[in-house]
Homo-oligomer: A and B are copies of this chain.
Amino acid sequence: MRAWPQGQGAHPRAGQITRVGAKRRRVRVRGDSGRTSRNAGAGMHLKIVGSAAGGGFPQWNCNYRLSRAARAGTAGVEARTQSSLAASADGVAWVLFNASPDIRQQIAATPELQPRADGPLRSSPIGAVVLTNADVDHVAGLLSLRERQPFAIYATEQVLAVLAANPIFNVLDPAIVPRRRLQQGGTLDIADAEGRPTGITVESFAVPGKIALYLETSSRPDADFSSDSGDTIGVRISDGGRSAYYIPGCAGIDAALRARLAGAACLLFDGTLYTDDEMIVAGVGQKTGRRMGHLSISGERGAMAGLSGLDIGRRVFVHINNTNPVLDTNSPEHAAVRAAGWEIAHDGMEIEL
């Protein structure tokens, strides 16, 4: 674990968690304004700010029955923005996991992520953004976090290389928005641009996945761009005590992943597709889930089967594609998922740990 920056221990900022002595204790510090967050209190706060896969729900050019139902406002079929999660140790400082293209709309819908009423003229409670891969639906939102606002970006070497290869991301001046490497295997205190800890720590680990779509050198449905060397990662998010696993993209479940997740208090997991050939059957695409780096929810090799029998407190499907029948709460697939002990994420869903 990285040490806290010198001098922070003596004068913790508002809402910061301090650790005293050998036994972990929580000391909440109120800001000068005396304001405390609505959510302030013991425990880690998670808020799913976007629960759909790339393209969102409805998707701009999709005329499949689910996107149509969402546009029509059909009961039980709720629209969703693209994949993003916010985490906070104190309900005041927040860390975003992935920056979706919908981030402006998402911040507008999430008071916790807006400037504080007593804050400076330009300010944000978002101290850092952690990227789990370089997919457009996870990085394009960085382009909306401009305006010379300091925050820190954390990503693997591969993802940082993608940002570096696209000069448009220089709208975020690295002198104001530092880019920090997320190493696999270790645990890292996530700090803001100035190095102040957010109270959130992250342990990252590679999961079976694939490289980003726009890095592919062939569009053939049968081409193989699978990768398990850090192009796609999962993260364990913690406030030092409680923790949750966030794995929005995963191509398969192996014994190592099962061992890692056993005993988890909370798991937010890749729920892109219900069946591997769902997009082909729906007539909207030529690729299987496996080709896209996503296992399915159902089936022998799917997430429900692969993670059954494990002691996991809450298990929630996130990153849900617009073809997935679980998006309709009246569907048998939705019922099957709920019966198996899983929840289906929706935008604005809050989880307190």
Contact = CB atoms under 8 A, between A and B. Distances in A.
Contact of A171 (B59, B105, B213): B213
A56 interface: yes
Interface in A87-123: 101-105, 107-108, 114-117, 119-123
A226 interface: no
Interface stretch (A24-32, A136-144, A268-276, A303-311): A136-144
A124 B145 CA distance: 28
A301 interface: no
B108 A71 contact: yes
A167 B165 contact: yes
A284 interface: yes
Interface in A291-342: none
B105 A61 contact: no
A169 B140 CA distance: 11
A104 B102 contact: yes
Among A101, A122, A168, A283, the most chain B Cβ lie within 10 Å of the Cβ of A168
Interface string A152-180: 00000000001001111111010000000
A119 B167 contact: no
A8 interface: no
Interface in A50-68: 54-56, 58-64, 67-68
Contact of A63 (B107, B122, B145): B122
A118 to B, nearest CB: 9
A31 B142 CA distance: 41
A304 to B, nearest CB: 27
B147 A59 contact: yes
A54 B102 CA distance: 15
Contact of A114 (B71, B102, B104, B108): B71
Interface string A281-293: 0111100000000
Interface string A43-87: 000000000001110111111100110010000000101100000
A258 interface: no
A181 interface: no
A146 interface: yes
B123 A63 contact: yes
Contacts of A139: 168
A149 interface: yes
B61 A147 contact: yes
Among A67, A171, A282, the most chain B Cβ lie within 10 Å of the Cβ of A171
A76 to B, nearest CB: 19
Across the A-B interface, the 9 shortest Cβ-Cβ residue pairs: A63-B115, A61-B149, A61-B124, A166-B166, A171-B214, A140-B143, A170-B214, A166-B168, A105-B105
Interface of A: 54-56, 58-64, 67-68, 71, 79, 81-82, 101-105, 107-108, 114-117, 119-124, 136, 139-140, 143-149, 162, 165-171, 173, 213-215, 219, 282-285
